[in-house]
Structure 1
């Protein structure tokens, strides 16, 4: 499919999400409540908040307990260590996707639950996120493109810095290693449990074989990551690859976040998930729709009372 045809298809899809969102009753009140961190407000349209069982808890090792109106990206600096932030301005942060890029670490033969969690993996070797510092909801909630423009320029500026690629590579490796440690910890707990024999009954890999299999897979994951890192280091200083959004209601985190990845470079996606490709809308298409809506609103002020 040609890029123009693809953009047209994505535009129609995003336009549908945008119009549906703004047709919801009291949507503006919900957006205002989220912006004010209103924990007492009853949100019926907005979604992607902290799961109810985690409200009141600290799950990241630092920061205040999660509130009902929080998302995993809300007030990011208060909840996560500074190492998770690759670059920042007073308006936005660049962070690495929490999930590893390598789908093999989420397959049923590796995942501690024995189920296939491939869609949880990243969408390409480099899968970064740019998030606003302020409480801003999903891309469909934007009425002007200023926030997106700032996030795009922020990433392009970061990409030009001489140490940006090494920071990205280090963050990707850390994410991969964190997933590896999570799996090992889960294996340890399962083996220490009195229910281990029941939980693993019928599994093809006894404990030692399962760990050996994980180590073999990790060797392959690290080899592939090293190859991708070499390719990344050779890329141009001007970033011209993919930036996009998952529009409400297809996103799992309500706070606005822009995906930065290599959507159109197969060499960086060999071992990543394609499960979310269909819902990923290019930033340029999102901006086009927002600007069209804004121009129409300027010509017809009555539409601003949505």
Structure 2
């Protein structure tokens, strides 16, 4: 039975699945050693590399140098380069974002994934949430995130769509219309409208912890993919599972 004593968001009530994935990773001594070496920046460590989703020496988020929208001593907020408008990816809708606002928080420390967190490191989840919530109070931050959504729509158009294909032109125009909807309502969204999610190993895409920050009112989800909902775990539920462990 899932953790009935707590209430989580739309990606919650997955306690047993979290436990299964966490325990499976932690039972692999080699994987745990790799995660510790990644965290400690052990220079001469030889990573196993037998698991395609396993720990690697470096990732796109390791010592991230791309655009950063906010940061503190422990974390950064960065963009999700995919458009939120799934019709821009007619062949691969899973590439789309999960919400009209879908951005990421990453730790500066080299933390592999939610399954490699322990009681000493799990506090990073609350630190990333706090960074976002403090940042969202600033109009300049909201405007930068809004611009990022427009940039992602244009990137999807340039990289994935054929300007000579009528259907692609229509989807781009509809994406711009959806962006204008977001522009009208973005300043009305509060931190209570956001959900924080994790993709636990082996469901993750990048082997460096990243927390998905998503606006989850229905109006913010209508144009986006739902293909990742099942694998998304509520970050608070993951935190609570880890802090509840006796060892």
TM-score past 0.5 threshold: yes
1:214 and 1:120 map into 2 onto residues whose CA distance is: 16
CA drift of 1:33 comes to: 2.6
Q: Which residue of structure 2 lines up, in the alignment, with residue 223 of structure 1?
A: 177
Q: Which residue of structure 2 lines up, in the alignment, with residue 258 of structure 1?
A: 211
User: Which one of 248, 252, 275 corresponds to residue 201 of structure 2?
Assistant: 248
SS of corresponding position for 2:59: coil
SS of corresponding position for 1:47: coil
User: Which one of 214, 222, 225 corresponds to residue 270 of structure 1?
Assistant: 222
Whether 2:70 is the aligned partner of 1:87: answer yes
CA drift of 1:215 comes to: 2.2
Does the 8 Å contact 1:7/1:285 carry over to 2? no
Q: Which residue of structure 2 lines up, in the alignment, with residue 281 of structure 1?
A: 233
SS of corresponding position for 2:133: helix
SS of corresponding position for 2:25: helix
Does the 8 Å contact 1:46/1:254 carry over to 2? no
User: Which one of 29, 42, 66 corresponds to residue 48 of structure 2?
Assistant: 42
**TM-score, normalised via structure 1 length:** 0.72
Q: Which residue of structure 1 lines up, in the alignment, with residue 143 of structure 2?
A: 166
Whether 2:58 is the aligned partner of 1:70: answer yes
- Pick the structure with more helix per residue: 1
2:118 and 2:126 map into 1 onto residues whose CA distance is: 13
Does the 8 Å contact 1:93/1:131 carry over to 2? yes
State which drifts further: 131-140 or 212-221: 212-221
Q: Which residue of structure 1 lines up, in the alignment, with residue 110 of structure 2?
A: 135
Whether 2:131 is the aligned partner of 1:151: answer no
Does the 8 Å contact 1:242/1:261 carry over to 2? yes
1:46 and 1:139 map into 2 onto residues whose CA distance is: 17
Deviations 1:112-157 (A, max 9, x none): xxxx110011001000100011211101110022111111111111
1:242 and 1:8 map into 2 onto residues whose CA distance is: 10
Does the 8 Å contact 2:89/2:96 carry over to 1? yes
1:48 and 1:122 map into 2 onto residues whose CA distance is: 24
Tell me: CA distance 1:164–1:272, structure 2 relative to 1, closer, same or farther (3 Å): same
Runs of 5+ consecutive residues of structure 1 not aligned to the other structure: 50-67, 108-115, 188-206, 298-306
Whether 2:29 is the aligned partner of 1:25: answer yes
2:53 and 2:211 map into 1 onto residues whose CA distance is: 17
1:219 and 1:97 map into 2 onto residues whose CA distance is: 21
CA drift of 1:46 comes to: 7.5
Does the 8 Å contact 1:105/1:180 carry over to 2? yes
Aligned alpha-carbon RMSD (Å): 2.4
Name the structure, 1 or 2, with higher relative contact order (CA <8 Å, separation 6+): 2
**TM-score, normalised via structure 2 length:** 0.88
2:11 and 2:206 map into 1 onto residues whose CA distance is: 24
2:11 and 2:172 map into 1 onto residues whose CA distance is: 37
Does the 8 Å contact 2:31/2:54 carry over to 1? no
Tell me: CA distance 1:118–1:94, structure 2 relative to 1, closer, same or farther (3 Å): same
